[in-house]
Structure 1
Amino acid sequence: MTTIPRSETHLAVLVVLGLTHLLNDMMQSLIPASYPILKEVYALDFVQIGMITLTFQIAGAMLQPVIGIVTDRHPAPYSPVVGMMFTLSGLVSLAFAHGYGAILVSVALIGIGSSIFHPEATRTARYAAGGKQGLAQGIFQVGGQAGGALGPVFAALIVVPWGQPSLAWFAVTALLAMALLTWIGSKQRQLSAEFHAMRTQRNAARAPVPHAPVTIGVGLFVLTFLMFTKNTYGESFRSFYTFYLIERFGLSIPASQMMLFVFLLAAAVGVLIGGIVGDRIGRYRIIWISVLGPLPLTLILPYADLFWTGVLTIMINLIMASAFASILIYAMDLLPNRIGLIGGLFYGLNFGLGGIAAAFLGVLADSYGVEAVYQLCAFLPLAGLLTWFLPRLDEGAGT
């Protein structure tokens, strides 16, 4: 029996990469975490709040697939540093914005920064993974999820008491991320050489069978739709959870931000567990569990009291987030030579589809109340039934 070679897993690179993802997504998460303040200062309605999210998410979605295609052909290991420059400028601009239009421009700059960051960072995680793709994507994504969870905490501790201009203080985190990304960029040549040498040896030992176009098309459609439903449910919390807690249970802004932090922290734990378990039991099983499993909990949530609202939201996000690494790797296995495109496409979808959902949910919240948002979103996990149509892949053959 031929032994399939495995390259070394570069944990130091993955940890630092995860840290830069944490810093990137923490700065982004300050946007929705600041919504209660912006809503009060500028007398915004929920439709305008949804449009801020839509602007941010669309700006972060449009460029990502394009950048992924370009970097597949011409790898640009230092492009995430450029992306962080856009994020830095957008964050400072948001801190001193004095009108709704300036807010939209500021969040668009932050979205563009994210669109440049993710494709090449995803490629680096793939190269540094060795034979542990689930672990690698789990570490990378747990950084992003943890960063997203920290935004509400910093908003409660810093932005609420010190006001909108305090957002500029977080520019130092962008400078730190730029320094770390410069170090990671210097490692990519070595990581790329190891990865492609391992693939060459693996292909010589067992020639890969290309997937049929129909298989690729069906697989990407199902994965995209599952991502859309997951993002819609997640966006209902990122944009409107604090308003829901304030309106229904009378919580203060800081208290509601801390509950949002706990909800988002559960996602960080979920993606890491999902990545590790996916390496053991397979991506297909993890996706089934993650997308359909939360359904009973989401149906109960709109009718729960404050304590059980907290418990249920943690459980829902823990389960729901566990599939993201598996969805991403599944897509990479369908198109193994298009890592940048897949990274850009799925992180881009993560932004764009979430933004569209936020705009729609904002209209719904204005028309029928915030509670109606969660009554409708409770049925979204039913989309998990589409997992049945996912093509079954030989996961052991993938890199």
Structure 2
Amino acid sequence: MATALSTSQSANKPVYNILYIIGICHLLNDTLQSVVPAMFPILEASMGLTFTQLGFIAFALNMISSVMQPVVGWYSDKRPMPYALPIGLTSSLLGILGIALAPSFWTIILSVIFIGFGSAVFHPEGSRVAYMAAGNRRGLAQSIYQVGGNSGQALAPVITALVLVPLGQFGAIWFTLVAALAVYFLINIARWYAHRLATISKQQMKNKKVKMQLDPSYSRAIKIALFVLVFLVFARSWYGSAISNFYTFYVMDAYGVSIARAQWYLFTFLLMGAVGTFAGGPLADYFGKRNVILLSMLLASPLAIALPFVGPYVAFAVLALLGVILMSSFSVTVVYAQELLPGKIGTMSGLIVGLAFGMGAIGSVALGSIIDSLGLTFTMIAVAFLPLIGILTWLLPTDKKLIEWQK
């Protein structure tokens, strides 16, 4: 009896060392992904690629990841795969090596497919590790995990300014060391993951599944909520894609700055986005997930609309606020989806995070084509209205309702 109580109490406490390590691995994984958009200005200059071709590179990277993530999550819900984590990062390592040596557009596409596959494997399994180590602080745990990824993405402009501008395309080869470090960490995470699985009661898992299957009365409401959540992720991802992939070109055109200086605008947005990602989870633990999602989208709207019209100095402040506010809902949408369908942790993590990548991929191609056809300024003004879609958050069930559905 005492042993059971001790196990129950420890299960409610976050395993912080695991959360920090998986967060660092997320940072390393997304740093590898960040090398790809960081190379866009280099590739445009050296290979003469069009905005549409750059969009297709982002499409290949993100679409492979987005399509595979829910599949990996669905499969790992049935058969968890601890050692898939280091295997996935090994694929990314090969992709980084390929992109450093790629002589043509199509070899770049092939290389980013390897990186996309590695990311597809890492994200749902990494999110599952965060969930297993969360205890009773799921919002905080998911924020620790996701802030690593957003921090890695924030490094893209720094990579461009400090590595790729002076060293060119071949400079990407240094990031194979980053991939190797991630593989090492993930081997150790995989051991903990496998041990944790061995200590979980199979009977408890079966009982949880039976409970869910015996309570189908909310299935229609859950499907509607999931559809609304997907639409919100769509709006946030398209806007984020516009900033991440094309805003540096807008800055160079509108403010007449160099490639290296333009990266600091993007770095401001992405770095403060990482701050917002970390803050969002704890705020959601205290004030509710739906409230954080709603305020994140609506408060970001006036800033997004103002951004194309402000000057070069005010733009830094607007981007900083925009990053914090908009990205505060990133980890929260993942936790919301997990609690919407608590028996499908991997599937929901893969769906929401994978969808973010997928919508960003489609957005990259679409936005690149629109820029080629209608111009950069028009496109940046038009996408600024996307966060207004956040008004649909009112259609989501409240946190209290989610708790009722789980009973």
The TM tier, using the shorter chain, reads over 0.9
Q: Following the alignment from structure 2 to structure 1, what is the Cα–Cα distance between the partners of residues 37 and 311?
A: 24
State the one-letter code of the partner of 1:149: A
Q: Following the alignment from structure 1 to structure 2, what is the Cα–Cα distance between the partners of residues 186 and 381?
A: 41
Q: Following the alignment from structure 2 to structure 1, what is the Cα–Cα distance between the partners of residues 36 and 312?
A: 25
The structure-2 alpha-carbon separation of the partners of 1:187 and 1:211, relative to structure 1 and needing over 3 Å to count, comes to farther
Determine which of 213, 218, 228 is the counterpart of 2:219: 213
Q: Following the alignment from structure 1 to structure 2, what is the Cα–Cα distance between the partners of residues 260 and 212?
A: 42
Give the equivalent residue in structure 1 for 2:175: 170
> Is 2:143–2:281's contact at 8 Å kept on the other side of the alignment?
yes
Q: Following the alignment from structure 1 to structure 2, what is the Cα–Cα distance between the partners of residues 342 and 28?
A: 22
State the one-letter code of the partner of 1:156: A
Q: Following the alignment from structure 1 to structure 2, what is the Cα–Cα distance between the partners of residues 380 and 185?
A: 39
State the one-letter code of the partner of 1:311: A
Q: Following the alignment from structure 2 to structure 1, what is the Cα–Cα distance between the partners of residues 325 and 249?
A: 24
Give the equivalent residue in structure 2 for 1:301: 307
Give the equivalent residue in structure 1 for 2:128: 123
Q: Following the alignment from structure 1 to structure 2, what is the Cα–Cα distance between the partners of residues 142 and 242?
A: 23
Once the two structures are superposed, what CA deviation does each residue of 1:217-272 show, in whole Å capped at 9, x if it has no partner?
A: 11110110000100000000111011111111011111111221111001100011
Pair 1:15-2:5 in alignment? no
CA displacement at 1:198 relative to structure 2? 12
Once the two structures are superposed, what CA deviation does each residue of 1:47-79 show, in whole Å capped at 9, x if it has no partner?
A: 111111111111111111111111111110111
Once the two structures are superposed, what CA deviation does each residue of 1:84-133 show, in whole Å capped at 9, x if it has no partner?
A: 01101111100011111111111111111100111111111000000000
Determine which of 369, 372, 379 is the counterpart of 1:366: 372
Give the equivalent residue in structure 2 for 1:145: 150
Give the equivalent residue in structure 2 for 1:43: 48
Once the two structures are superposed, what CA deviation does each residue of 1:172-202 show, in whole Å capped at 9, x if it has no partner?
A: 11111011011111111444466769977x9
Alignment of 1:158-307 (within 5 A): 158-192=163-197, 212-307=218-313
> Is 2:337–2:349's contact at 8 Å kept on the other side of the alignment?
no
Q: Aligned pairs, how many?
A: 394
Pair 1:96-2:70 in alignment? no
Once the two structures are superposed, what CA deviation does each residue of 1:5-50 show, in whole Å capped at 9, x if it has no partner?
A: 6522100000000000000001101111110000011111111111
CA displacement at 1:392 relative to structure 2? 2.3
> Is 2:334–2:353's contact at 8 Å kept on the other side of the alignment?
no
TM-score (norm 2): 0.92
State the one-letter code of the partner of 2:272: A
> Is 2:265–2:319's contact at 8 Å kept on the other side of the alignment?
no
Q: Following the alignment from structure 1 to structure 2, what is the Cα–Cα distance between the partners of residues 324 and 260?
A: 18
Give the equivalent residue in structure 2 for 1:325: 331
Pair 1:350-2:356 in alignment? yes
State the one-letter code of the partner of 1:295: S
> Is 1:58–1:355's contact at 8 Å kept on the other side of the alignment?
yes
Once the two structures are superposed, what CA deviation does each residue of 1:322-363 show, in whole Å capped at 9, x if it has no partner?
A: 011111111111111111111111121111111101111101
State the one-letter code of the partner of 2:12: S
The structure-2 alpha-carbon separation of the partners of 1:243 and 1:338, relative to structure 1 and needing over 3 Å to count, comes to same
> Is 1:128–1:191's contact at 8 Å kept on the other side of the alignment?
no
The unaligned stretches of length 5 or more in structure 1 are none
The structure-2 alpha-carbon separation of the partners of 1:324 and 1:346, relative to structure 1 and needing over 3 Å to count, comes to same
Q: Following the alignment from structure 2 to structure 1, what is the Cα–Cα distance between the partners of residues 399 and 276?
A: 23
State the one-letter code of the partner of 1:251: V
The unaligned stretches of length 5 or more in structure 2 are none
Give the equivalent residue in structure 2 for 1:386: 392
> Is 2:245–2:364's contact at 8 Å kept on the other side of the alignment?
yes
SS in 1 for 2:313: helix
SS in 2 for 1:306: coil
Q: Following the alignment from structure 1 to structure 2, what is the Cα–Cα distance between the partners of residues 336 and 211?
A: 16
Range that drifts further, 162-171 or 183-192 = 183-192
Give the equivalent residue in structure 1 for 2:75: 70
SS in 1 for 2:397: coil
Q: Following the alignment from structure 1 to structure 2, what is the Cα–Cα distance between the partners of residues 135 and 198?
A: 28
State the one-letter code of the partner of 2:130: A
TM-score (norm 1): 0.94
Determine which of 363, 375, 394 is the counterpart of 2:381: 375
Q: Following the alignment from structure 2 to structure 1, what is the Cα–Cα distance between the partners of residues 370 and 200?
A: 48
Determine which of 334, 342, 346 is the counterpart of 1:336: 342
SS in 2 for 1:247: helix
> Is 2:74–2:346's contact at 8 Å kept on the other side of the alignment?
yes
Once the two structures are superposed, what CA deviation does each residue of 1:146-174 show, in whole Å capped at 9, x if it has no partner?
A: 01111221221111101111101110111
SS in 1 for 2:155: helix
Give the equivalent residue in structure 1 for 2:29: 24
